[in-house]
């Protein structure tokens, strides 16, 4: 059993919203790797970052993503930093991976000042610019298709993802 598709991209790209819409259109379940992590840790991601640190969160994330890639039959959305781990990028090979691309201005409009987003706690715009620049090549590396989300409502992005899947 493997996902119908895996959505990757930065925070604010719409992975959770679009993923739910795509799953509904395809009649398959939706799963967000962040939800797995929170359920297993028994606390929200911001608390994991504060209490245990980013390294611990990333370790939990690698396991959650590996488990979901091996067992989830629907649409799977990965956290924005999941692609930082080489083992995760290796596991994504052979999967249908859609990169939801978004530019800085749209990300900042969507995430605002980053409340509840641990990586954006200090200087959200500058931090987001660095994260986008650092991670974009990794998203492109794992992607089998790219869908641009800038200025588009989630329904239109979901249609583009379903089209990219050939469905």
**Whether pTM exceeds 0.85:** yes
pLDDT number for residue 84: 94
List, in order, residues 6 or more apart from 69 with CB less than 8 Å away.
2, 3, 6, 76, 91, 92, 95
Q: What is the CATH number of domain 5-157?
A: 3.40.50.300
Mean pLDDT of the chain: 90
Q: What DSSP line would sit under 64-108, residue for residue?
A: HHHHHHHH--SEEE--TTGGGSHHHHHHHTTS-EEEEE--HHHHH
> Whole-angstrom Cα distance, residue 158 to residue 18?
5
What pLDDT score does 118 carry?
Answer: 52
Question: Could you say which residues of the chain have pLDDT below 50?
Answer: 114-116
- pLDDT tens digits along 107-137: 766 565 544 455 555 567 677 788 888 999 9
Tokens standing for residue 19: 């993923």
């Amino acid at each position: 059993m493997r996902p119908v598709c895996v959505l990757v991209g930065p925070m604010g790209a719409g992975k959770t919203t679009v993923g739910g819409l795509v799953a509904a259109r395809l009649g398959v379940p939706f799963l967000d790797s962040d939800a797995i992590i929170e359920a297993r840790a028994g606390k929200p991601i911001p608390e994991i970052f504060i209490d245990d640190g980013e390294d611990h969160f990333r370790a939990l994330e690698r396991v959650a993503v590996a488990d979901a890639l091996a067992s989830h039959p629907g649409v799977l959305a990965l956290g924005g930093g999941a692609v930082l781990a080489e083992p995760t990028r290796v596991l994504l090979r052979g999967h249908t991976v859609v990169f939801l691309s978004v530019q800085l201005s749209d990300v900042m409009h969507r995430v605002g000042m980053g409340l509840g987003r641990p990586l954006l706690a200090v200087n959200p715009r500058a931090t987001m610019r660095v994260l986008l620049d650092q991670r974009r090549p990794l998203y492109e590396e794992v992607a089998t298709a790219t869908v641009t989300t800038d200025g588009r409502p989630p329904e239109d992005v979901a249609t583009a993802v379903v089209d990219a899947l050939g469905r």
